[in-house]
Amino acid sequence: MIITYHGVDFFKVSFGDTTIAVNPISKASKFKSTTFGSDITLISLNSPEHNGADITSRGDKESFLIKGPGEYEVSGVFIKGLLSKSNYLGQERINTIYTVALEGMNLCFLGALGDKELSIETKEAIDGIDILFVPIGGEGVLDPAVAHKLAVQFEPKIIIPSHYGEVGITNSLKMFLKEAGEEGVKPVDKLTIKKKDLEGKEGEIIILEQV
């Protein structure tokens, strides 16, 4: 599995011949968008920074679009959408958390989550996560301190922050790393990982450079 970061809460997950786009930035956003074809597109929030289904279809092949709570199976990938809230852009709206099971690993994308306290049902559904993707930028999503506190509750093997840099409060990544006591973490251009690579990891923070 190869994971790359494309800004805001936009991730690309590739494995075998399958590509998943999570929260793609649409062409309508003021932020730079990366265009590529994907087999599955997950949208957490109806905002220009998260609903870019316009950039993930290729030719005559449309990406399978998921944009809300529910349970899905697509091409052998098991996906759950869980209800939560965001205050991104200053108004409360529905945010969908996604858990994705593939290649023996469990991924969880919190999207533009603003909820400090998740429901018991949502917490139970997130149990057993290997890689957690968490927004840290504040201004409607989790701020650095709350993001770290929430992330470690789920005891993931790996934590990957998003929603920082051009978006959110200044220095949110630096603040998040300080909360974690991991100021020395250096960014990498991508994460290439297999299930066996997770052995022995406990809450390791990985910073992905924006592509």
Give the model confidence (pLDDT) of 102-140 as tens digits: 999 999 999 999 998 898 989 998 889 999 999 999 999
* pLDDT tens string 60-69: 778 999 999 9
Exposure string over 46-71, b if 16+ CB within 10 A, otherwise e: ebbbbbbbebbbeeeeebbebbeeee
Average pLDDT, the chain: 95
Q: Is 159 helix (H, G, I), strand (E, B) or coil?
A: strand
* pLDDT value for 39: 95
Q: pLDDT higher for 14 or 59?
A: 14
The rounded percent of the chain whose pLDDT value lies above 70 is 100
Domain borders along the chain are 2-205
Task: Determine how many CB atoms are found less than 10 A away from the CB of residue 102.
Answer: 18
Amino acid, res. 81: G
* pLDDT value for 60: 75
Distance, first Cα to last Cα, the chain: 17
Question: What fold does the segment set 2-205 form as a domain?
Answer: Metallo-beta-lactamase; Chain A (3.60.15)
